[in-house]
């Protein structure tokens, strides 16, 4: 059995670990986030990238949305053998919209959270790959990994208060088990030359023993500065003019009204450039304004 190190400690890495743990001997994780060094992830030690040069392994699997950038880091900066490095893309994780049933469960939960935000007068809009799929394809992108919504950072405490009472009683009619939780991610990011600690996202998920019930939705926090909004993504940040984001507009998707950016076409162009061309092997490096 191969001795393997997984590079990444996010949701993508979690999915890849669960997918390969029975076939590979996963000995460690690695990550560029210094806060995670010398911590445990699935009871495996998370090591700093520089430590990889002195370790004995058969393969490194990159399970990060920055796979191309990390590959260059490992090969060019650390001089690791490129033949021992495998890059994965989000579509290679089996925990995604791979079936009609999974899509139905995810969309039901998306509509439910959108309704809840509306009822509590919390601004939001459908974002990232979820927005792209709904506008371009009128469907969720099959190789996407979760639902993305954008919310403002000033609503963080209100959202947490709302979810603490709501999730305890929420029953998803299409799931066998309901064990709904949330977690918040934050990270230090350099924004316009200044180091900031940003809240990245609040992820709501069903902590179920059944793979088909692993529904997840991310509320991604937006920060305002002058005429732009910005937000953290995997150690970097994206930005957009406020006026193409807010005030939000509404569209009807599968008989449900949902909020989208004020100018959804300009927003998609700002993020993706040629957003009408599908890219299956997607990494965050391909964002237009990262």
Q: Does the fold of domain 100-286 match that of domain 3-88?
A: no
CATH of the domain spanning 3-88: 3.40.50.720
pLDDT tens digits along 148-161: 999 999 999 999 99
**The two structure tokens encoding residue 125:** 């809009």
Q: What is the DSSP string of 65-90?
A: TTHHHHHHIIIIIS---GGGEEE--G
User: Where are the alpha helices (H) located in 97-240, listed in sequence order?
Assistant: 100-119, 128-136, 156-167
What percent of the chain shows pLDDT beyond 90?
Answer: 68
Rounded-to-integer distance, Cα 51 and Cα 242, Å: 42
At 290 the pLDDT is 45
The four Cα atoms 70, 73, 74, 79 give a dihedral, to 10 degrees, of: 170
What's the mean per-residue pLDDT of the chain? 90
At 107 the pLDDT is 97
Residue 1 class from Cβ within 10 Å (0-12 exposed, 13-18 middle, 19+ buried)?
Answer: exposed
pLDDT, averaged per 10 consecutive residues of the chain (290 residues), comes to 94 84 95 94 97 97 84 94 85 63 94 98 96 94 87 98 95 95 90 91 92 90 96 86 97 98 96 78 55
Instruction: Indicate the domain borders of the chain.
Output: 3-88, 100-286
Class of domain 100-286: alpha beta
Q: Determine how β-strand 236-241 pairs with β-strand 228-233.
A: antiparallel
At 83 the pLDDT is 93
At 199 the pLDDT is 95
How big is the CA angle at 204 (ends 200 and 207), to the nearest 5 degrees? 130
pLDDT tens digits along 40-91: 999 999 999 999 999 999 999 998 877 878 999 999 999 999 999 998 765 5
Contacts of 216 (CB under 8 A, 6+ apart): 11, 145, 146, 147, 203, 204, 205, 206
């Amino acid at each position: 059995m191969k001795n393997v190190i997984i590079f990444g400690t996010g949701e993508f890495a979690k999915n890849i670990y669960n997918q390969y743990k029975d076939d590979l001997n996963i000995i460690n994780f690695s990550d560029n986030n210094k806060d995670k060094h010398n911590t445990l992830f699935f009871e495996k030690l998370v090591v700093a990238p520089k430590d990889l040069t002195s370790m004995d392994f058969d393969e490194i699997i990159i399970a990060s949305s920055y796979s191309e950038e990390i590959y260059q880091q490992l090969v060019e900066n650390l001089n690791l053998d490129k033949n021992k490095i495998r890059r994965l893309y989000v579509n290679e994780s089996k925990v995604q919209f791979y079936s009609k049933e999974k899509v139905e469960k995810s969309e039901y939960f998306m509509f439910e959270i959108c309704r809840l935000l509306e009822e509590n007068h919390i601004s939001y809009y459908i974002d990232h790959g979820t927005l792209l799929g709904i506008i371009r394809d009128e469907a969720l992108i099959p190789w996407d990994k979760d639902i993305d919504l954008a919310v403002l950072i000033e609503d963080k405490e209100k959202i947490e208060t709302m979810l603490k009472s709501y999730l305890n009683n929420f029953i998803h009619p299409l799931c066998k088990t309901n064990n709904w939780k949330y977690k918040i991610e934050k990270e230090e990011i350099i924004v316009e030359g200044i180091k900031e600690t940003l809240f990245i996202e609040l992820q709501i998920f069903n902590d179920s023993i059944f793979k088909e019930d692993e529904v997840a939705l991310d509320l991604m926090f937006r920060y305002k500065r002058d005429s732009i909004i910005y937000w953290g993504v995997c150690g970097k940040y994206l930005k957009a003019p406020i006026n193409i984001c807010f005030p939000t507009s509404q569209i009807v998707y599968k008989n449900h009204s949902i909020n989208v950016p004020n100018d959804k076409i300009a927003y998609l162009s700002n993020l993706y450039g040629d957003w009408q061309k599908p890219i299956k092997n997607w990494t965050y490096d391909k964002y237009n304004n990262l």
